[in-house]
Amino acid sequence: MIAAAEIPETLNLASWFLDRNVEEGRGDRIALRTPGGDVTYAELAELTNRTGHVLRDLGVRPGDRVLLALSDSVEFVAAWFAALKIGAVVAEVYTFLNEKDYAYYVGYTEARVVVVDETTRAKVGANSHHTARLVVSPTHPLTSGEHDFATLTSRAPSRLSPYPTRRDGVALWKFTTGSTGSPKAAVHRSRDPLLLHHSYAIGVLGLRADDVVLPIPKLFFGYARDLTALFPFGVGASGVVFPDRTTPERIFELVAAHRPTVLVQVPTMMAAMAAHPDAQAQDFSSLRLTISSGETLPAELHRRWVETFGGEVLEGIGSSEAYHIYLSNRPGATRPGTVGIPVPGVRACLVDEEGVEVAEHEIGELHLDTEAAAIGYHGDPEKTARTFAGTVIRTGDLFERDGDGYHAYRGRRDDLVKVGGIWVAPIEIEACLLEHAAVAEAAVVAVEREGLTITRAHVVAVESAGDAIERDLLTFVRSRLAPHKAPRELVLVDSLPRTPNGKIDRKAIVRAGGMGANESS
């Protein structure tokens, strides 16, 4: 673990994570494993240099924003590092948004250049006529404002001196999910990825040179990008990058082809993979760690995953505001149903509404103290003031801590529901429902009935569930939770709506006013 003051004042992230491998004799090691073949550190560094020259030629100057809106690829990684190497600020967005969303991101970032491919090209270009677009693998002629990535990089010089960025200078924007309005960017300094590399990637995961990291989420999700194409580079390891949609079948193929040692997971895909009819036939013996984050991993799903695929699962939780994972289980010391203990260098405190620390086994809002805290939200000083106080982050997330310091997630403060005068955490009810073998997914929301607030559970059942599942589930929950926590209504649904980053969209459920015809109360 290092402190911010121990990091050199001049720090260029592309030099430290990428070029250093070439300079120290690891240029021929594999950096990225792709469907088109392996890419060495030397090859990736050269493409990064060429891309940096192209970005400069398109007008990018130190401090300017470069926005990535493209599928996972070598070009994605090279463009990301190239922006950092020339002193620009890099941000990335989802690849399946609509024109209005892309217009918002381009306008909000005031990006000098947007890097796109055919998955995003038309939608980004529809409202970005005054912003240069660098197009990866175009399949039809370029239009005004567009430039071909391959053509320009092939003509650019292969050497590029790094811009002398400062450890406390702005380097990255990480977007929030926008659950309470338009997404905002948490602004991070050059030092923040390096702090998390030492504290989490090394201090918790123990990443090493022979690791091969396979991500389930795509690279626009910082959780996956850092664990695939940043932190592994700090130790000379490699990441697997593939452009196509993530499915259980595709992951099974990639595990067989690349024999990863670390799998970067989200609970939704873990459930789909564990329930797949071919799950038992898969050989996951190469894995030493499966990491889970992005949403809560129910203890029952944790157990089912280990029973099906073996290995060890480390659940953790992170945020854009804290740069990456800040609470995590540890190898050899996992506690299913919890997100673990603070990573090295992070202090965590649970407080009540008055800011007083709560006792063990009581629910409180998590306040973090970390040197990797974002400077604030770009363009939103009021939200910045509510969330940040120097290195302290008021997360708005509720947790319960046991006597050993392990934290169990209890939802957002604004997700709490008062039923009969008592506060209830919907996520606790959902976790209980997911312990039942007939439940694939569950979401609990508050609804109004004759002026009173009650909880309503929306459940996706497994195919083998019987006709009496509603009654069975209510009996099951009532036998395990206090009476005021049991849902008053239960609805069976075919699926649950999700946000762009794959989390269950509870607000969409509330707006819909109910999803399904089968009710029990």
458 contact partners, CB below 8 Å, separation of at least 6: 442, 443, 444, 445, 491, 493, 496, 509, 515, 516
Predicted local confidence at residue 97, as pLDDT: 87
Q: What is the residue type of 104?
A: Y
Of the candidates 59, 132, 71, the one whose C-alpha atom is nearest the C-alpha of residue 96 is 71
Q: Calculate the CA 482 to chain-centre distance.
A: 33
User: Where do the domains of the chain lie, and which CATH numbers do they carry?
Assistant: 4-188 (3.40.50.980), 211-368+394-412 (3.40.50.12780), 416-520 (3.30.300.30)
Tokens of 400: 């319960």
Tokens of 504: 């269950």
53 contact partners, CB below 8 Å, separation of at least 6: 156, 157, 160
Phi, psi of 47, deg, nearest 5: -65, -35
Distance CA 272, CA 247 (A): 8
Distance CA 320, CA 222 (A): 8
Of the candidates 173, 208, 177, 202, the one whose C-alpha atom is nearest the C-alpha of residue 190 is 173
Give pairs for 353-362: CB < 8 Å, separation 24+. Answer: 360/401, 360/402, 360/403, 361/400, 361/401, 361/402, 361/403, 362/400
Predicted local confidence at residue 515, as pLDDT: 41
In tens, the pLDDT along 91-133 reads: 999 998 889 999 999 999 999 999 999 999 999 998 888 899 9
Give the chain's end-to-end CA distance (angstroms, integer): 53
- pTM, whole model, 2 decimals? 0.85
Predicted local confidence at residue 466, as pLDDT: 66
* String of DSSP letters for 466-492: -TTHHHHHHHHHHTTS-GGGS-SEEEE
Using the 8-state DSSP alphabet, how is residue 202 labeled? I
What is the rounded average pLDDT for all residues in the chain?
92
Predicted local confidence at residue 482, as pLDDT: 73
Phi, psi of 9, deg, nearest 5: -65, -35
Predicted local confidence at residue 226, as pLDDT: 98
Per-residue pLDDT of the chain (521 residues), as tens digits, is 789 999 999 999 999 999 999 999 999 999 999 999 999 999 999 999 999 999 999 999 999 999 999 999 999 999 999 999 999 999 999 998 889 999 999 999 999 999 999 999 999 998 888 899 999 999 999 999 999 999 999 999 999 999 999 999 999 999 986 544 678 999 999 999 999 999 999 999 999 999 999 999 999 999 999 999 999 999 999 999 999 999 999 999 999 999 999 999 998 899 889 999 999 999 999 999 999 998 888 888 899 999 999 999 999 999 999 999 999 999 999 999 999 999 999 999 999 989 999 999 999 999 999 999 999 999 999 999 999 999 999 999 999 999 999 999 988 777 777 676 666 778 888 888 988 888 888 999 888 776 667 889 999 988 766 667 888 898 898 888 877 788 888 999 998 988 766 678 877 887 776 443 333 44
Phi, psi of 103, deg, nearest 5: -60, -40
Predicted local confidence at residue 90, as pLDDT: 98
